[in-house]
Structures are given as structure tokens and as C-alpha cells.
A = this chain, B = another copy of it.
């Protein structure tokens, strides 16, 4: 008989209780032992949700953290504090911890894995990235024989929903965001989604698993989708691309790079087919080749599926993983200016002879060659020019754009975006 303590009864906590209740017999048959939730910590025991779990509800963390009969703590509160403190206390008292908390795992995963090891218990967090998609364990175990080259993903369902609505329904970003909020995909304050901060956390976690050295979200070069306009979407489509918010971490000859940015993905690429609020993670390894894991990246039940899978792993037991993770050395990232990719640039130029030569001259002086140029005549003697470059350094693009803005023939450089190889 295994006793579990649950911290938090929000969306994922409720999904976890629902899944445990509906699947109790199957889960217990598969484990050969009985499992029950002894206590659930909530902030307010008077709320309707909490009343549904009457009898096992508490607002005192010690009822779970100090109860020696509880061997597994499932942390589903979210946010850095007090979640981190509770997880530390649980691990220190010899309890295994399962969490779906991307903030805590991305910022303190290394220290918490160390603490779990010191105490001879487990710290598992499949639910912290990609919701119901199995990705942490496949990287850690199934692909354990691989040298991983890169991990690239669509890791935020809200922004992918917004970009899909912009593309398919020609909605402006603000309208698509309002619809996402109406449907419950986006929170009242969508800043973490829109700015890419949420994806940076997930990339930090995936980088740690893939390269076995920690990085924190703050060092991931991060650009959000607020830069993307309907005009970019349409030009991308004309050129054979779709705009997606990508997170990436990869090994290069000279080091590692990690970034989050909206990018043009070729229509034939599997990531281009990921629509609406779905997520997908692409992993490239020396032996496995290119893999992609696709599914619901959020939501109560899908995340609960991942959390329960981890709980079942804790219960199955076995020797503690010899996951050779070194928390004391972190992944040194290359300067983002050294990143190499093709780039998409949209600018306004005077519709006069010689302007295109002046524009391409600037690129030439920075060693950038162009692969596609699209000129559209706009009103008032001003043309819109869309350019896709061959592979070049981000730093060269930055420098070229500064020079372009100083040209009198170029009233505005409207946008530039990375193109995914």
C-alpha cells in the first residue's frame, strides 16, 4: 500500500485525481500494489474543488511533508516558491518527488536531482515539458546510447494556437490571443507565452537531459511571437514556409547554442504540420537519426498522464538511476551572434531604379548572399521587399540591418526572422 501526498489541486491536480480514481484498478493491477492519495495540500480548504476531496484536504504542508507514511510527494502547485522549498523538504525526508513544475525544474532541476541522489530517492518531472508527450524518459533511457546533436520543438500550445489562427483564419495576433483566452488556452496574463519565456524554460530542461549539463532559462536567447505580423505569415506562405515559435538547443563544432524564436519552417518539414495547441519535440542523435514526439503539450489530463507514469516508475522501484548528470558544470553557450541560419527580412524601399542594387549591395558588403527576393509594389512610391538569405551569421544580419536603416532609400526595416533549415 503506497501513500501519496499531493501538493496543489489546480488543473493538473484535478486531472491527476480524476485519472487515479477512474483508472485505479488498472493502475494497481499493473503495479501489483494498491495506491492511494492520503492528503492534498490546498491554499483554501473552503473552495468548491477542495470540498470535493473533503477528508483528505489540508492547508498545512506539514501534514504531507512530515508524515512518514507518505513515500511519494506529487508537486502540482506551479511557481517557484513555496514549491521549491516543499520539494527540498520532501526529498530531504526521504520521499520521492514527482512534479510537473517547469519553473522549478528549469531553475533548480540540477540541485534537486543532486538532493534526490543524496537521499536515495527519485525526482521525476516528465510532466514539466510537453504535457502528455513522453519526452524526458525517452531521451534519458531509450536514447541513452546516442550522442544527441540537437533538440528542437514547438513547446508552447498557446502561441502555436495563435500562429495557426493567424495563418489559417487571417486573424491579427491580438484577436487570435483573445480567442485563445476565450477558449482557456491562454492565461489572463499571457506574457510568459507571448515573450517565449515559457519555451525558454522547457529548452533549459531539455538541454539538461540531452547534454547532461544544466543551463538556466535566463541564458537562452529568447524572442517572442509579438514580432510576427500577418504580413510575415503571408510572405512566408508564398515562399513555401510556415511561421512557428521554435525552441532549440544544439551542439555545434565549437560549443552549444540555445535559443527561442519565431522561425520560418519549410512546409514539408514535420514541425510545419503541428497545428493548433499541439506541441512537438524533434530530437536528432548520432544513431537514432531524426525523431519527433507529438501531442498535447498542456491540459489537466494529458499532464496527469505523464505525472502518473512517473509515480508508477517510482513505485516499480529498482536501483536509482545512474544518470550521469553533472550539476556543478553548466552548459557554456556560444554568443547568439554566431548562430548560423538563413534569414528572412522584410523592409520598405523607395520604388526607384537602383534601390534593389543598393539593398543587395549592403548584404554583399557583409558577406551575405541572397537566395530569394520578392518585390511588391505598395502605395506612395514605396515597395515592400522580402528577402531570404543563404546561411549566414546572425551577427552579420544585425550589422547589415543597421546599415540598411541608414540608407535613405530604405524608410524602414520591418522585420527579420530566422529560417529553419
CB distance from A28 to the nearest CB of B (A): 10
> Is A209 in contact with chain B by the CB < 8 A criterion?
no
Q: Is A406 among interface residues, defined by CB-CB distance under 8 A?
A: no
Knowing A23-B147, A30-B324, A322-B31, say if A292 contacts B295 (CB, 8 Å). Answer: yes
Closest Cβ–Cβ distance, residue A119 to chain B (whole Å): 18
Nearest chain-B residue to A313 (Cβ)?
B141
Q: Contact: A268 with B272, CB < 8 Å?
A: no
* A145-B27, A322-B30 known; A288+B316 contact, CB < 8 A: no
Q: Which residue of B lies closest to A292 (CB)?
A: B294
**C-alpha spacing A322/B299, complex, angstroms:** 29
**A142 contacts the other chain (Cβ, under 8 Å)?**
yes
Which residues, 296 to 330 on A, are CB-close (under 8 Å) to B?
Answer: 296, 299, 301-302, 304-306, 308-309, 311-313, 316-319, 321-324
**How many residues of A sit at the interface, in one of the four size bands?**
35 or more
Set B15, B145, B146, B275: member contacting A287, Cβ < 8 A: B15
Q: State whether A270 touches B273 (Cβ < 8 A).
A: yes
> A288 contacts which chain B residues (CB < 8 A)?
132-133, 295-296, 301-302, 305-306
- A130-158 CB contact bits vs B (8 Å, 1 = yes)? 00111001100111111100000000000
Q: Is A356 an interface residue (CB 8 A)?
A: no
- List B contacts of A353 (CB < 8 A): none
User: From DSSP, what is the main secondary structure of chain A's interface residues?
Assistant: mixed
Instruction: Check A146/B305 contact, CB under 8 A, given A316-B321, A322-B32.
Output: yes
Complex-state Cα separation, A145 to B253, whole angstroms: 41
Asked if A143 and B147 make an inter-chain contact with CB atoms under 8 angstroms apart, the answer reads no
A311 to chain B, nearest CB (A): 8
Number of copies: 2
Q: Is A290 an interface residue, CB under 8 A from the partner?
A: yes
Residues of B with C-beta under 8 A to A384: none
| Interchain CB contact under 8 A, B285 and A305 | yes
Whether B27 lies near A309 (C-beta < 8 A) is no
* Cβ-defined contact, A30 with B273, below 8 A: no
Contact A291 B292 (CB under 8 A): no
Q: Report the minimal beta-carbon distance from A12 to chain B, rounded to whole angstroms.
A: 11
- Cα(A146)–Cα(B312), bound, Å: 12
Residues A145 and B294 in contact in the complex (CB < 8 Å), given A31-B322, A32-B322: no
- 26 residue pairs of the A-B complex, CB under 8 angstroms, read A23-B146, A23-B286, A30-B324, A134-B143, A137-B138, A138-B138, A138-B142, A143-B309, A145-B305, A145-B308, A268-B275, A272-B273, A273-B273, A286-B301, A287-B301, A288-B295, A289-B295, A290-B295, A291-B295, A292-B293, A292-B295, A316-B319, A316-B322, A317-B318, A317-B319, A318-B319
Residue numbers of A with Cβ under 8 A of B are 15, 19, 22-23, 26-27, 29-32, 126, 132-134, 137-138, 141-147, 268, 270, 272-275, 280, 285-296, 299, 301-302, 304-306, 308-309, 311-313, 316-319, 321-324
